[in-house]
């Protein structure tokens, strides 16, 4: 459908015949009218030029010429991928807001349906890789709502567009090469290789490089197919990924705990790992009073002294290899617990707090540095160095040294008190 000007009105004319009946000339032929360049046409031309320059680099990486030609036939500039990449909203949700949606009652209910529907498959996957079926299904639920939102962007087009765009050219070109290697292997046809705008694919959203490293052919049909409606290869590939990332059979990802009165919060942090027996000697218990699971664990306080506390075990780090955000790992772990019939998180949250914006986190780091506490730089990332610096400042100020950064702490730092 295209638009034709008629006086001061706008008439939609379907095809040339309709325009001829109206006796209205085409816009480009109108007296005195200047043609406006089509930005999409310019972008398409730029992408095609980039593909020409990329071709020898791809072939040098072992991509077959026929695969290359097939993959790029009819390639289109993906304007949506560029817009999303340039305008990604900063993740400013609190953990509790995130968990409210990530582990909603609907997601729990749908996950239990998925467990029942694919029970036999999941049992075989768990037996082979040692990763609990609930963890695998929780990843599936977090990534694509159990396969209902896998993404429909043509992967080669999206990745080529993003590599050409240049903001993260090296990363996206690496993923594009990996995608071409997948096509070269015959695991999927170019038209079936779809996913998110950023290149994540299939039921559990593998990036192409992760696919090459961890995808498995669980059905035995000669292809590692994570794209089709059958989730077998995707779920098995997820279990393989976690197993190769250090998953330990029979150990939890983490467990919610209660802290004794007067607990020394400087003992918390992902870097301070010690045997569960030591934590128990310090007075920690599970929320239901059961003995702490054996193994080496660290104490994580995502909302400081005001929120739930978790002892996290090595399997926490295995999930973090899939996505390093603490919120994601807790989301997967807690969703898995709920799928197996576990309770909701018992500890409260400081729901009156909001998450600090990136600029505020950087200001926090600058103020801590000015106060003589080394944050390891100013990057807006609240990592181990910033947490240690914040705890040291809190302790010197006579506050609870839990490392929790909120607006009240920032305001106190601003006042130098």
- Please state, rounded to an integer, the average pLDDT across all residues of the chain: 90
Q: At CA 307, angle to CA 303 and CA 310, rounded to 5?
A: 85
Cα 133 → chain centroid: 20
What 3 state SS string does the chain have?
CEEEEECCEEEEECHHHHHHHHCCCCHHHCCCCCCCCCHHHHHHHHHHHHHHHHHHHHHHCCCCHHHHHHHHCCCCCCHHHHHHHHCCCCCCCCHHHHHHHHCCHHHHHHHHHHHHHCHHHHHHHHHHHCCCHHHHHHHHHHHHCCCCCCCCEEHHHHHHHHHHHCCCHHHHHHHHHHHHHHHHHCCCCHHHCEECCCCCECCCCECHHHHHHHCCCCCCCCCCCCCCCCCHHHHHHHHHHHHHCCCCCCCCCEEEEECCCCCCHHHCCCCCEEEHHHHHHCCCEECCCCCCCCCEEEEECCCHHHCCEEEECHHHHHHHHHCCCHHHHHHHHHHHHHHCCCCCCCCCCCCCCCCCCHHHHHHHHHHHHHCCCCCCCCCCCCCHHHHHHHHHHHHHCCCCCCCCCCHHHHHHHHCCC
- pLDDT in the model for residue 18: 30
Q: For residues 190 and 181, is the Cβ–Cβ distance under 8 A?
A: no
For 99-108, 309-318, 379-388, which range has the lowest pLDDT when averaged over its residues?
Answer: 379-388
Looking at residues 187-195, what average pLDDT do you find?
96
Report the pLDDT averaged over residues 89-101: 86
Instruction: Tell me the average pLDDT across 164-188.
Output: 96
> How confident is residue 32, by pLDDT bands cut at 50, 70 and 90?
low
Least confident of 76-85, 86-95, 213-222, 310-319: 86-95
pLDDT confidence of residue 40:
79
206-249 pLDDT, tens digit each: 999 999 999 999 999 999 999 999 999 999 999 999 999 999 99
pLDDT given at position 166 = 87
Q: Is the pLDDT of residue 358 over 50?
A: yes
Q: How many Cβ atoms sit within 10 Å of the Cβ of residue 249?
A: 11
Query: Within 13 Å, how many C-alpha atoms sit on residue 270's CB side?
Result: 17
Distance CA 76, CA 175 (A): 18
Domain-located, residue 295: no
Domain that holds residue 25: 1-31
Residue 310, pLDDT > 80, answer: yes
Q: Are 162 and 172 in contact (CB under 8 A)?
A: yes
Q: Check residue 266 and give its pLDDT.
A: 87
pLDDT single digits (tens) 47-70: 999 999 999 999 999 999 999 999
Instruction: List residues bridging with 71 in a β-sheet.
Output: none
- Most confident region among 122-131, 270-279, 382-391 by mean pLDDT: 122-131
Assign 34 a pLDDT band (cuts: 50, 70, 90). Answer: low
Q: Which of 31-35, 92-96, 179-183, 392-396 has the lowest mean pLDDT?
A: 31-35
Q: Return all residues near 163 (Cβ < 8 A) that are at least 6 apart.
A: 50, 54, 169, 172, 173, 176
Residue 23 has pLDDT above 50, yes or no: no
pLDDT exceeds 90 at position 414: yes
Q: Select the more confidently predicted residue: 31 or 231.
A: 231
Is 130 in contact with 247 (CB distance < 8 Å)? Answer: yes
- Residue of 216, 263, 209, 266 whose CA lies nearest to 237: 216
Q: Which has more pLDDT, 234 or 1? A: 234
Structurally, the chain folds into a number of domains equal to: 2
Looking at residue 290, what is its pLDDT? 87
Structural domain contains residue 346: no
Residue count of the chain, please give it.
417
For residue 5, being part of any structural domain is answered with yes
- What is the phi/psi pair of residue 335, to 5°? -60, -40
Question: Judging by beta carbons within 10 Å of its beta carbon (0-12, 13-18, 19+), is residue 124 exposed, middle or buried?
Answer: middle
> Confidence band (pLDDT; 50, 70, 90) for 410?
very high
Determine, yes or no, domain membership for 366: yes
Residue 234 lies in a domain: no
pLDDT at 17 over 70: no
The answer on pLDDT for 271 being more than 90 is no
Give the dihedral of Cα atoms 48, 51, 56, 58; nearest 10 deg: -160
Q: Would residue 394 count as lying in a domain?
A: yes
pLDDT at 114 over 70: yes
Which range is least confidently modeled, 5-14, 73-82, 283-292?
A: 5-14
Is residue 24, in this structure, part of any structural domain at all?
yes
398 in any annotated domain: yes
């Amino acid at each position: 459908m295209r638009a034709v000007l008629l006086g001061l009105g706008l008439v939609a004319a379907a095809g040339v015949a309709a325009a001829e009946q109206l006796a209205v000339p085409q816009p480009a032929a109108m007296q005195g009218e200047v043609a406006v360049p089509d930005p999409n046409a310019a972008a398409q031309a730029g992408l095609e030029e980039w593909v020409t320059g990329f071709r020898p680099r791809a072939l040098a990486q072992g991509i077959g010429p026929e695969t290359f030609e097939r993959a790029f036939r009819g390639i289109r500039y993906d304007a949506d991928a560029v817009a999303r990449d340039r305008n990604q909203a900063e993740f400013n949700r609190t953990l509790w807001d995130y968990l409210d949606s990530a582990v909603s009652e609907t997601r729990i209910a749908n996950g239990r349906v998925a467990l029942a529907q694919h029970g036999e498959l999941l049992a075989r996957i768990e037996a082979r890789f040692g990763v609990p079926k609930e963890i695998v299904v929780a990843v599936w639920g977090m990534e694509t709502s159990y396969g209902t939102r896998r993404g429909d962007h043509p992967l080669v087009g999206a990745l080529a567009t993003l590599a050409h765009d240049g903001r993260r050219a090296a990363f996206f070109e690496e993923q594009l090469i990996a995608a071409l290697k997948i096509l070269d292997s015959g695991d999927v046809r170019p038209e079936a290789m779809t996913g998110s705008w950023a290149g994540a694919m299939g039921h559990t959203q593998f990036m192409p490089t992760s696919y090459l490293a961890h995808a498995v052919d669980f059905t035995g049909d000669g292809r590692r197919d994570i794209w089709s409606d059958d989730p077998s290869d995707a779920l098995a590939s997820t279990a393989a990924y976690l197993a190769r990332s250090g998953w330990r059979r029979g150990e939890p990802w983490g467990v919610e705990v209660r802290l004794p009165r007067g607990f020394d919060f400087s003992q918390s942090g992902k870097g301070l790992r010690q045997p569960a027996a030591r934590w128990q000697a310090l007075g920690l218990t599970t929320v239901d009073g059961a003995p702490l699971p054996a193994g080496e664990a660290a104490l994580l306080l995502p909302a400081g002294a005001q929120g739930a506390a978790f002892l996290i075990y090595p399997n926490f780090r295995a999930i973090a290899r899939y996505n390093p955000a603490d919120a994601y790992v807790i989301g997967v772990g807690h969703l898995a617990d709920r799928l197996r019939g576990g309770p909701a998180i018992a500890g409260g949250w400081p729901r009156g707090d909001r998450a600090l914006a990136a600029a505020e986190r950087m200001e926090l780091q600058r103020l801590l540095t000015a106060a003589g506490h080394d944050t390891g730089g100013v990057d807006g990332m609240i990592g181990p160095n910033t947490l240690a610096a914040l705890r040291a400042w809190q302790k010197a100020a006579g506050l609870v040294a839990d490392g929790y950064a909120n607006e009240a702490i920032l305001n106190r730092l601003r006042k130098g008190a």
